[in-house]
Amino acid sequence: MSENSEWVSLRRAADILGVHPATVRNWADKGEIASRRTPGGHRRFLRSELTQHAQIQQDEIQPMEFKIIVQNALGQARMKVGEGNLEDVPWYAAMNEKARGAMRSLGRETLEDLRSYLTSGATDTELAKAINLGRDYARELSEDGLTLPQAMRGFFYFGDFVFNSILTWSEINAPRSATEWAVLVRQVNTFMNALLLSIVEYYEEE
């Protein structure tokens, strides 16, 4: 079957929706997604309907949840820095006050751009902000004399706050569906990975 065919296989439908094939089969059995059978008995799904279904699922994830997750991550970062817990950490100790101030500003910008990326439906336009942020991070740290490994350690340290916030939220508020939260985690990963790769690429260009 052609990749661009209007009717797609069960596995391709699962890829479009970002779920397991068994989940798609279950939705079809319940009549939540239309399907038809080939003469050989295989399921086929309408691509346009799958795309619409995926968009509806994305729209059902409430922007308020994104805002709370971002605020929680920002609060964790402020607490760690404010308590002076990082003074003995090599990568943090290596930064001067100007670089630390720049990191605080970029940290707030990162969380806001992440929230914007999630609420926009994870568009490529919003993802481009992650790439630009990565270059801004790398430029500041590189000018301050930090090495790429030091920059990456800092990224992973603060990146954990974002994922900890997602886990905390999911423990307090049970997800409406496993699919919804799988999509959220996948999108956060996409944004953070784009930012990290941008940092690495900047250092390699130096």
- Once rounded to an integer, what is the mean pLDDT over residues 128-149? 94
Continuous segment of H or E residues that includes residue 44: strand 43-46
pLDDT, tens digit, 9 for 90 and up, residues 22-43: 878 888 888 878 888 988 888 8
The pLDDT value recorded for residue 79 is 66
Comparing 16-20, 30-34, 73-77, 128-132, which segment has the lowest mean pLDDT? 73-77
> What pTM, to 2 d.p., does this model score?
0.62
Farthest CA pair distance, the chain:
70
Q: What are the sequence ranges of the domains in the chain? A: 7-57, 60-205
pLDDT band at 206, cuts 50/70/90? low
What is d(CA 137, CA 200) in angstroms, rounded to the nearest whole number? Answer: 10
What is d(CA 159, CA 32) in angstroms, rounded to the nearest whole number? Answer: 37
Q: Let me know if the fold of 7-57 is the same as that of 60-205.
A: no
- Is residue 205 over pLDDT 50? yes
The pLDDT value recorded for residue 2 is 41
Contacts of 183 (CB under 8 A, 6+ apart): 18, 57, 58, 61
What is d(CA 170, CA 164) in angstroms, rounded to the nearest whole number? Answer: 10
60-205: CATH topology is Globin-like (1.10.490)
Single out the residue of 41, 37, 28, 39 nearest to residue 7, CA to CA: 37
Q: Label residues 177-201 b or e (16+ Cβ within 10 Å = b).
A: eebbbebbeebbeebbebbbebbee
CATH number of 7-57: 1.10.1660.10
